[in-house]
Amino acid sequence: MKSSNNHISQYPDTFYRVSLKAIIRNDKGEVLVCKEYDSTSWSLPGGGWDYGETEKEALARELREEVGYVGGFKSTPVTTSVFWLESKQAWLLWIVYDVIPDNYNFTTGRYCSMAKFINPDEFENSNHKTEGWIYEYFRN
């Protein structure tokens, strides 16, 4: 086991990051997705759960950062998913929430280049992990 002073985990096979993701639907059944600046694929808004935050605080921060949302919301955890991050050579755990916002004032946040509502069926033939996940989740 490595010394705690060198910041190498004693658990090398643990998850790299826990991310909280939001499923937000509009009245047409479309789901809110965003595209981060360094990505070519759509994903659910959300991201890393920072140390010391509650779930609600992390979701609120991520919604503000990614889709410019400021306001209250109700959230219920609905599923989890695990992804391998090739770029980090590590695992990522998604905790996915059904989110009902108090308003639908979404813009592009500071970490996303685009945000919009899309019918999940549009991702049926996608080769991107996150888009495929969205399609499969809503297909079932």
Mean of the per-residue pLDDT values for the chain? 88
Amino acid at 133: W
Q: Is the pLDDT of residue 2 over 60?
A: no
Residues 50 and 53: their CA atoms lie apart, in Å, by 6
Taking residues 17-38, what's their average pLDDT? 93
The pTM score is 0.85
Tell which CATH classification among 3.40.190.290, 3.90.79.10, 3.40.50.2300, 3.80.30.20 matches the domain 15-139.
Answer: 3.90.79.10
Tell which wins on pLDDT, 38 or 78.
Answer: 78
Residues 107 and 109: their CA atoms lie apart, in Å, by 6
Q: Is the pLDDT of residue 81 over 50?
A: yes
Q: Is the pLDDT of residue 8 over 70?
A: no
Amino acid at 69: Y
Residues 140 and 120: their CA atoms lie apart, in Å, by 11
Dump pLDDT digits (tens) for 47-73: 999 999 999 999 999 999 999 999 999
- Domain ranges in the chain are 15-139
Instruction: Provide the pLDDT for residue 3.
Output: 38
* 28 neighbors 116 (Cβ within 8 angstroms): no
* 109 neighbors 67 (Cβ within 8 angstroms): yes
